[in-house]
Structure 1
Amino acid sequence: MKRRNTPTKEAVLDVLVKTGKAMSQDAIEQKIDIDINRATIYRVLNRFCDDGIVHRVVAEDGKQYFALCVKCEENQKPSHHFHFRCLKCDTIECLPVKVNFSIPDEYEVENVNCVLTGTCKECSHK
């Protein structure tokens, strides 16, 4: 179903495109130029997840981040990929590496949520 484009959707998408990294709802809210309430931003982000525009990353602290699915399609990046969370700047980015794991034959994996934590390359050089 084609969804109608709204100023709210455009504002949220614009923030994600400009940053190029996964962001929490709070971080997105701080960067949006128009007045939008928190619940509306969550609804937009959840619809973006449903529509395959963004994917949700749950960090080890339970906080949700949303990353633009720029390379998730057409096998440009594995659907099961690692994320890296910087403990200094609190950003999360998708890492372009395939997740290699093995599980017993009786199990079928539908989703993988792998978040590595440490210091990102930008913060390491500061």
Structure 2
Amino acid sequence: MASKTQPDILRQSGLSVTESRKKILELFLASNGALAHSDIEKNTAAAFDRVTVYRTLQTFVEKGIIHQIPTTDNSVLYALCKHNCEQGHHHDDHVHFICSTCDKTICLDDVTVPEVKLPINFSKAQAAMVVTGVCGDCK
């Protein structure tokens, strides 16, 4: 997805191309890790209000452009989807690593979440797994 431009990604997802969507998507394309809502607000505060940022993030999650990452403190981070996710169908069942030294969150795309056998009449919508430790840069 990183080789496409912001307007291409937005149009492919059926979204109109607005300045707020382009700017927020640009932040994700430039990042090699996950972003918190507050990080996005800091980088767009002069141009967009908090509600616009929130709605844009929700729309991007719904359309399969970004995915949510749970954290140890029950907040949420966001990262760019890399596996052809689409509306209502995320394919980002990979492990997320949080460095306890630098606090960076990294998608481990090649490490998948183990399959969980659910009881009868249960259906999985999404699986998330977070591993904490020290990243290679901090080691």
Q: TM-score, normalised by structure 2?
A: 0.76
Residues 33-87 of structure 1: CA deviation (Å, up to 9, x unaligned):
74211221111011000111000111121111110012x228xxx6311101122
Residue matched to 1:80: 93
Q: Pick from 94, 98, 113: which aligns with 2:112?
A: 98
Matched ranges for 1:61-72 at <5 A: 61-70=73-82, 72=83
1:103 Cα offset (Å)? 1.9
Partners of 1:59 and 1:104 in 2: CA distance: 23
For the aligned residue pairs, the C-alpha RMSD in angstroms reads 2.1
TM-score, normalising length: structure 1: 0.82
- Identify unmatched segments of 5+ residues in structure 1: none
Separation in 2 of the partners of 1:45 and 1:104?
Answer: 30
How many residues end up aligned between the 2 structures? 120
1:30 to 2:42 alignment: yes
Q: Is the 8 A contact 1:17 1:68 kept in 2?
A: yes
Deviates more, 1:104-113 or 1:42-51: 104-113
Change (3 A) 1:33 1:15: farther
Identical pairs, percent: 28
Are 1:13 and 2:25 counterparts? Answer: yes
Structure-2 separation of matches of 1:29 and 1:40: 10
Query: By how many angstroms is 1:88 displaced?
Result: 2.3
Residue 104 of structure 1 and its aligned partner are, at CA, apart by 4.5
Moved over 3 A (4+): none
